[in-house]
Amino acid sequence: MRFGSAFWKTDPKRNSNKHCRSTTRYSPFEGGKGDVTQADPSVAEQKMPNKIIPYRPDLKERAKELRNNSTLGEILLWNELKGKSLGVEFHRQVPLFDYIVDFFCHELLLAVEVDGDSHDHKITYDENRQRALQAYGVKFLRFTDKEVKQEMPYVVETLWHWVQENRQM
């Protein structure tokens, strides 16, 4: 589990309860243990590459509703993205600032959108949303619902190549 800027790990010699937090404290800073005030920023960046993007709290419930009512295209693409199948972790229906994106990779700041029928009447909204998020460094890949349903190998290959080209080693 992660709490603040330190990681907690159960010490089996002290306590076998894996949910207990009063165990050994590990830190991503100098030496792996100890006081987090002696931070080496280069180590912290290597250990925690994900940038946290804030969002409006009310969007959390809406994102949950969207996850529970996904389109067929979103479900099919999620089956290809989940479990770090492309070497990075994706989440679905992620709130970012004032918006929700279909899929998001925190490590790469990559939003993946499946544009189906619901997007036909929201072209201006989608363009404004994309511009606003790009201003914060979020990159976008867009696929049509038809591409996801009928050309999944193309979609996965496109995503895989994008991830390989933009991944920080």
What integer pLDDT is reported at residue 5 of this predicted model?
33
User: What is the per-residue pLDDT for 119?
Assistant: 61
d(CA 4, CA 57): 19
pLDDT of residue 90: 98
Residue ranges of domains in the chain, CATH in brackets: 1-48 (no CATH), 58-166 (3.40.960.10)
End-to-end CA distance of the chain: 25
Q: What is the pLDDT of residues 73-124, one digit of tens each?
A: 999 999 999 999 999 999 999 999 999 999 999 999 999 999 987 666 788 9
Phi, psi of 42 (to 5 degrees): -65, -35
Cα–Cα distance between 108 and 97 in angstroms, integer?
A: 17
pLDDT tens for each residue of 16-51: 333 333 333 333 333 333 333 333 344 334 444 577
